[in-house]
Each structure stands twice: as structure tokens, then as C-alpha cells.
Amino acid sequence: MKNDGKFLILLSSLTKISLERYTEKFVMEKVTSKKLFFEEIFVIKGKMKKKNEKTRKN
């Protein structure tokens, strides 16, 4: 995580992580993805959510 609260995550479609759990505290968007044989790799850009900021879904 950077000093301004922003971060990048490299995530595989094979992981059991659900980003929906984190939508209350973070704003996240898919930057890019790459399909590889039987999985897809995603780069997610995120930041801490401000108190009055609405949830964004991609």
C-alpha cells in the first residue's frame, strides 16, 4: 500500500478470495486481465473508501 492509501493486487481466478467482502472499506477496479489456459490473471487497483463514497462494481 502506498502512502496515499492506493494499492495494486495481482489476482488469479483460481484463488478463493472474494473481493465482495472488501467493498465496504475499499474502492476497487479491474485494470487489466490476461487469459491463460485454464485461469485468468487480474490486476486490481484500489484505494481506501471515503466515508461518503459509493460502492463501484466492475
pLDDT tens track of the chain, all 58 residues? 777 778 998 989 888 888 888 888 889 999 999 999 899 999 999 998 877 655 555 5
Within a domain: 37:
yes
Within a domain: 58:
no
Within a domain: 56:
no
Q: Residue 18's pLDDT is what?
A: 81
Within a domain: 33:
yes
Q: Residue 34's pLDDT is what?
A: 93
Q: What is the DSSP letter of 48?
A: E
Residue 32, domain extent:
6-48
Within a domain: 57:
no
Terminal Cα-to-Cα distance of the chain (whole angstroms):
21
3-state SS, residue 9: strand
- Domain count of the fold of the chain: 1
* Helices first, then strands: H and E counts in the chain: 0, 3
Within a domain: 53:
no
Q: What is the pTM of this model?
A: 0.65
